[in-house]
Every structure is written in structure tokens, then in C-alpha cells.
């Protein structure tokens, strides 16, 4: 059986995220977790995201996603390049991203990290699900983020 689209991605990412049962360590605030150094090809994903966000370039942001990529909205998921560009139409600011963990396997991967704007407090956390695109370039298949506000 050959899975396609999000099903293929979900199975691939599911293999990267083993389920741990039993006691878990207390969660540390994202601000306290150490940053990790990403391989250049993954770091480029974060730096491109920051650069395009700061420039308010919604079309550029959509271009670093897969054509069928997902981003969250207040009403659920937005899917596809046009919807992503529309979702990010008013996005801008001094976005800063840092990675806390990552993994890749063949054509799928993820980056777990934290974000903030400038040097200010607040920010949040994110998971970028990645898929290797044409030419081996990593693209974002889904971006899931949540602010640290309670």
C-alpha cells in the first residue's frame, strides 16, 4: 500500500516520534532549554523563515512550504500555497527562531524549537514537520506553533 500526501507524511513523522510511556521529566520552559546547532540545510529553513517574516513577504513564506503545506489559523488549518500566503499576508516583525531538537530520515524530518520577537519576553514554541523537496531542499510540510501565554 502506498500512502500519499498527509498520510505518507504522518506515517513518516510517526516513525520519528516514538511514543514514550511511563514517567516523563518535568517540562522546562522553552526559554530554558538549550539550543542545538542544526545542520546547514535545516538551519537554512529557520533563517529563511525569519528573513521572509521580517520582510513581510507572504509569497516568499509560502514558497518555503510544500505546495500542500499546512499552517494553523484561528479557525483550523490552512492548506496550500495560496492559503499560506493569505494567512501570512500581514505577518512581519523581528521573528527569532531557535532549535531545541531535530531529526531527519530519508525524506521527512522535524525541528522542535522556540520563537520570540526581538529581545522581548513571551514568544512560544513550534514544531516544523519537514519534507525533502525537489533537488533535496528541505521544505516545511506543516508548521504548528503555540504562544507561551497562559
Write the CA distances from 126 to 23, 65, 135, integer angstroms.
Answer: 23, 15, 26
- pLDDT tens, 85-141? 999 999 899 999 999 999 999 999 999 999 999 887 779 999 999 999 989 999 999
Q: What is the pLDDT of residue 27?
A: 53
pLDDT tens digit string along 19-43? 333 444 445 554 578 999 999 999 9
Domain edges within the chain:
5-14+40-147
Q: What's the grid cell of residue 3?
A: 500512502
Backbone angles phi, psi at 55, to 5 degrees: -80, -10
- Residue 110: name the closest of 31, 18, 26 by CA: 18
CATH of domain 5-14+40-147: 3.10.450.50
pTM of the model: 0.78
CA angle, 61 as apex, 94 and 97 as ends, to 5°?
40
Distance CA 21, CA 59 (A): 41
Amino acid at each position: 500500500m502506498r500512502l500519499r500526501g498527509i498520510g505518507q507524511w504522518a506515517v513518516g513523522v510517526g516513525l520519528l516520534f516514538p511514543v514514550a510511556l511511563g514517567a516523563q521529566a518535568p517540562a522546562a520552559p522553552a526559554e530554558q532549554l538549550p539550543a542545538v546547532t542544526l545542520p546547514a540545510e535545516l538551519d537554512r529553513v529557520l533563517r529563511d523563515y525569519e528573513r521572509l517574516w521580517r520582510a513581510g513577504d507572504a509569497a516568499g513564506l509560502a514558497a518555503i512550504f510544500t505546495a500542500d503545506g499546512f499552517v494553523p489559523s484561528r479557525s483550523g488549518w490552512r492548506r496550500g500555497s495560496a492559503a499560506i500566503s493569505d494567512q501570512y499576508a500581514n505577518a512581519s516583525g523581528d521573528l527569532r527562531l531557535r532549535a531545541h531538537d531535530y531529526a531527519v530520515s530519508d525524506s521527512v524530518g522535524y525541528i522542535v524549537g522556540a520563537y520570540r520577537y526581538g529581545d522581548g519576553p513571551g514568544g512560544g514554541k513550534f514544531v516544523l514537520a519537514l519534507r525533502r523537496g525537489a533537488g533535496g531542499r528541505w521544505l516545511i510540510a506543516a508548521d504548528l506553533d503555540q504562544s507561551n501565554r497562559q
